[in-house]
Structure 1
């Protein structure tokens, strides 16, 4: 099992909302793009909620996303994992991203949304205890946009993700 490294955050200095995943999957790592798997609903859902054209090339989608005050990152900066499933992450290999540094550089973050259970669990277990009083922002888990989360329909995911625009 090789060591996988994630991406830097997508965030403007004045970002108000952070969306966290766990760790990029194989398709994303290969493309060097967040949520690059063609069946992952992240960009389709987020673009629909935020009024961004989902057919724009990745760099333009990312720019529009950040211009609206949203930031995107993963809880894990590195780990070992076979395949793309969160369930296959070797728990002993996880390396957490530098959230103290991120929040210091992005002081306007008021809300954190988790794209699924693994992101939330890892954040609450490995990040929140070290942040102390800074964890005063609103933290909420949303249903994973992963194609592996097939028990929830696209319509239900879209409805839940409307929360990021409120």
Structure 2
């Protein structure tokens, strides 16, 4: 069993929530979201917000907060082989009620199909706009960075 070891990033001004499935091995090592150097999340968010690519965890946290973006994951713990979403079993989900209560979040974006499917399965009581986006993971190789940025532009529209 692997456990989520990263606190959610948000503040009272957060307008959107981006949820992944579960942190990769690299993210669990660095103790921050999207820590794999090939994951395009930070490049996409930088392009959408017109900010320079953050290098440190603190820079990444500031970029999210300064742009009213909250980030967390659907899963609190699970059995997983490495970073493979397809191997996820025995899911325990994160409780999203606190983050939703303390913020002004009107839209939840799901980073990839696994996050979307798990969210829909375990969060039937959450009545907020839900939008599935293509995964920024390097495993989603058929999507170029430009394709991701184009599909993720809806994030900017909600900020």
- TM-score over 0.5 for the pair: yes
1:94 paired with 2:91, answer: yes
- Alignment coverage as a number of residue pairs: 157
Per-residue deviation, 1:40: 0.4
Q: What is the TM-score when the length of structure 2 is the normalising length? A: 0.93
Per-residue deviation, 1:146: 0.3
Identify which of 105, 111, 114 aligns with 1:115: 111
Q: Residue 20 of structure 1 contacts residue 73 of structure 1 at CA under 8 Å; is this kept in 2?
A: yes
Counterpart residue number, 2:38: 39
**C-alpha distance in structure 2 between counterparts of 1:30 and 1:56, whole Å:** 16
Identify which of 102, 106, 109 aligns with 1:105: 102
Q: Judging changes above 3 Å, is the alpha-carbon distance between structure 1 residues 15 and 55 closer, same or farther for their aligned structure 2 residues?
A: closer
Moved over 4 A (4+): none
Q: Residue 54 of structure 2 contacts residue 63 of structure 2 at CA under 8 Å; is this kept in 1?
A: no
**C-alpha distance in structure 2 between counterparts of 1:77 and 1:52, whole Å:** 30
Report SS of the residue matched to 1:60. helix
**C-alpha distance in structure 1 between counterparts of 2:84 and 2:120, whole Å:** 20
After TM superposition, list the pairs within 5 Å mapping 1:136-155 onto structure 2: 137-155=128-146
**C-alpha distance in structure 1 between counterparts of 2:44 and 2:11, whole Å:** 21
Flag the structure with higher helix content. Answer: 1
Q: Deviations over 1:73-112 (max 9, x none)?
A: 000011111110110111xx21111112221122x10111
Q: What is the TM-score when the length of structure 1 is the normalising length? A: 0.89
RMSD: 1.3
- Which consecutive unaligned segments of at least 5 residues does structure 2 have? none
**C-alpha distance in structure 2 between counterparts of 1:120 and 1:75, whole Å:** 9
Q: Residue 6 of structure 1 contacts residue 74 of structure 1 at CA under 8 Å; is this kept in 2?
A: no
**C-alpha distance in structure 2 between counterparts of 1:160 and 1:72, whole Å:** 18
Per-residue deviation, 1:6: 4.0
Per-residue deviation, 1:161: 1.1
